[in-house]
Amino acid sequence: MPTPLVQSPLTSGNEPLVLCPGPRPLEKPLAAMRAAARAAARATALAAEERQALWDVLHNKSIHSVLQPIISLRDGSIFGYEALGRGPAGNPLENPEALINAALRHGRMLELEHLFRYSALKAARQIATGIRLFLNVNPNIIQDPHFGVGFTKEYLTRFAISAEDMVFEITERESVDNLRGFKKIIEHYKAQNYQISIDDAGAGYSGLNLISDVQPHFIKLDMRLIRGVDKDLTRQALIKSMQEFASLTNTRIIAEGIETEEELATLISFDVPYGQGYFIQRPAPQPQPIAEHVVRFIHRENKIKNRFFGARVHKFHVRHIIRPGFTVSPTLPVLEVVERFEHDESLQGLCVVDDGKPLGTVMRHHLHRQLSGRFGFSLFAGKTVASVMDKGFLSVDHQTTIDVVSRHAMRRESNQIYDFVTVTRDGNYAGIVTVRELLEKSIELEVANARQLNPLSELPGNALIDIELERLVRLNLDKRVLYFDIDNFKAYNDKYGFKNGDRVLKRLASIISENTPEGDFVGHIGGDDFIAVTERSEAEKVCQDIISAFAQGVAAYYNAEDFQNGYIEGKNRNHQEERFPLMSLTIVGVCATSFQSSFDLARAAADMKKRCKQLLGNNFMFDDGDGNSADEDSAQ
């Protein structure tokens, strides 16, 4: 039968109509099924390859460890090393995360942990005694009965390592399956003198709960929290809060992932005690000394920090004022303690110490109260100090600041409030400090700090201002430095007197402090000159708010006639009569990154201020042209 011809608008004549059949109903599902089957086969093959690669690593024990130093950010000394396990070079499982994930997928994590541990302890043979070894531990593996086999005293002796130098790093990224059992095993290891660190704090959502449950000796801040901390106010606020928390709970902060000079300087300024990262030193097979330029930088930044903060109480550590005190063994008879108190009237208390660890205290007045009862003396006469000591004594680490120690001391029960405070270093007895010594040192430091403040405004004076400007320029911080000057202040001072002039200066100091973001630096150069350092993005709003508040309050400082006139009459510098407008405010802002020295910055600001003061009324002006000016009437 011949093919039918049809007329088509797309053709020039009669052409055969060709019908193209579409896919059959089952072809698409079948294609998808075949693709899924191929993907499953590939996944199975890859899983088999991964399983074999993991088996080869475990069977051949081809794990090695590199060491990365953790250093003091106060003096640059090495505090410890973190042991980081690595797979065989060139192997798909060389990366530790890939290796751990493979072990978790194939149920071989315990074997891998054993190899990591053995490799880490082997590498730690190169570490000097007293330097800590930080060892990463999966929180669920630590509960396995076989885990403890690798941490017996005999096992560690093979590697010449003591439990006191071991720190278990428990990552918060891993959820804990059995929290009750986990807490129990953590307490067990603490009792064996092992120390605990929470790793990657800030990387997950369960970190605060884990920290609260474990009560670790160390908290390691996640590197993503440290990255760019010199530029990120939110990260800075979080780290400040963590540092305050650590001070109150006798925990030590370690910042990991420090990669730039600016990050390190910022952490030092926040008094973070320890750090690690590529800027300090990369992981290496053998321990290496810290580069001299890093140590010099740390010393320099601490010197600047100490100068900047002066001798403020919240930055002064109790280790500077401790004294040895008297210690006794817990097995000493009570009668011998009584004799010591009788022979030395100045002795108010003793610390009970065993193998370097403080166990309790015996205060003169507490002991007399215990022995003065009807049967007190006969009850305790034949016993040891351990039976009468106070186990609930206050103990703080030597790096705790004295304001924190004072708060802890004053929160004690009324019958304990004047007991001495025991100070420890790495858990060992270091000495004591009395409440009187704490108060005396606090007063001394506050007096010394007051000398650095302007007596009128109580804001930081020129010495602290110079240090802040040095810091801004040297670290090339992207901040706006604002200079404030009151126009026609001398004429006002001459007519209304210094007392009223001081009222104006105090009010301006309050306005600047109230209208700058919390944490911004505000200083009083002298007279009617002030300074503030703020974020560039905030500078314009800060200037507008300060000018608005100042302009609204000006009327309160003039009598009705002068304010209505809009001027006061007085003599100029040539002793000629002149009309002076009411006080207004001039603000100039310069960017710290535009200058090589604080002297150049201040000189540029002075030149700009001369130009800005030629304008009438309240004005502000920035060095890059993004300023604003307002005439006197509109500003007021």
Tell me which H or E stretch contains 170.
strand 166-171
Handedness of CA 226, 228, 229, 234 (dihedral sign): negative
> Range with the lowest mean pLDDT among 193-197, 285-289, 316-320, 430-434?
316-320
Q: Which of 475, 466, 467, 464 is nearest to 593 (CA)?
A: 475
Quick one: residue 241, left, alpha or beta (phi over 0 = left, psi -120 to 50 = alpha)?
alpha
- Segment holding 610, helix H or strand E: helix 598-613
Q: Specify the pLDDT at position 473.
A: 83
pLDDT reading at 503 higher than 80: yes
Query: What are the structural domains, with CATH classification, of the chain?
Result: 53-308 (3.20.20.450), 320-445 (3.10.580.10), 454-635 (3.30.70.270)
As a whole number, mean pLDDT of residues 607-627 equals 84
Are 193 and 163 in contact by the 8 Å Cβ rule? The answer is yes
> What backbone phi and psi angles, to 5 degrees, belong to 593?
-75, -10
**Do residues 475 and 265 lie in contact, with contact meaning Cβ atoms separated by under 8 Å?**
yes
Give the model's pLDDT for residue 186.
85
Find the mean pLDDT for residues 91-96.
76
pLDDT in tens, 315-342: 678 888 889 889 999 999 988 888 888 8
pLDDT band at 69 (very low <50, low <70, confident <90, very high): very high
φ, ψ dihedrals at 482, nearest 5°: -105, 130
Rounded distance between C-alpha atoms, residue 566 and residue 576, angstroms = 20
Helices (H), 360-400: 364-371, 376-380
Tokens of 391: 């186990």
pLDDT of residue 276: 96
User: What's the rounded Cα separation, in Å, for the pair 489 and 485?
Assistant: 9
> What is the arithmetic mean of pLDDT over 110-130?
83
Give SS3 for 329: coil
Q: Which residues pair with 40 in a beta bridge?
A: none
Position 495 confidence tier, pLDDT thresholds 50, 70, 90 = very high
SS3 (DSSP) at 232: coil
Picking from 169, 69, 78, the residue whose alpha carbon sits closest to that of residue 117 is 169
User: Scanning the structure block, which residue is given the tokens 């809060």?
Assistant: 241
The pLDDT-based confidence of 205 (bands split at 50, 70, 90) is very low
Please determine, for residue 52, whether its predicted confidence score (pLDDT) is greater than 70: yes
164 in Cβ contact with 129 (< 8 Å): no
Whole-angstrom Cα distance, residue 115 to residue 508?
A: 66
Quote the CA–CA distance of 329 and 192 in Å, as a whole number. 20
Is 105's pLDDT higher than 90?
Answer: no
The number of helices, as runs of H, and strands, as runs of E, in the chain is 22, 24
Would you say 197 and 219 are in contact if contact means Cβ atoms under 8 Å apart?
A: yes
Average pLDDT over residues 559-578: 86
What phi and psi values does residue 278 have, to the nearest 5 degrees? -65, -30
- Give the model's confidence band at 207: pLDDT under 50 very low, under 70 low, under 90 confident, else very high: low
Q: Is the predicted pLDDT of residue 80 greater than 70, yes or no?
A: yes
- pLDDT in the model for residue 632: 35
Give the whole-number percent of the chain exceeding pLDDT 70.
Answer: 85
pLDDT, residue 332, reads 92
Spell 554-571 as b/e; 16+ CB within 10 A means b: beebbeeebeeeeebebe
Average pLDDT score over the chain: 82
What global pTM score does this model have? Answer: 0.52
* Rounded mean pLDDT, 270-284: 93
Contacts of 196 (CB under 8 A, 6+ apart): 167, 168, 170, 186, 189, 190, 214, 216, 217, 218
pLDDT, tens digit (0-9, with 9 covering 90-100), for 339-387: 888 888 888 999 999 999 999 999 988 888 887 766 666 677 778 889 8
Percent with pLDDT over 90 in the chain:
32
pLDDT band at 557 (very low <50, low <70, confident <90, very high): very high
pLDDT at 50: 75
Neighbours of 136 (CB within 10 A): 21
Q: What is the bridge-based pairing of β-strands 619-622 and 584-591?
A: parallel
How high is the pLDDT of residue 11? 44
Look at residue 423 and tell me whether its pLDDT is greater than 80: yes
Which residues, in sequence order, are bridge partners of residue 529? 485, 526
Mean pLDDT confidence for 570-596: 88
Could you tell me the CA-to-CA distances from 587 to 454, 539, 597, 626 in Å, in that order? 20, 11, 21, 13
The confidence band for 630, taking pLDDT boundaries of 50, 70 and 90, is: very low
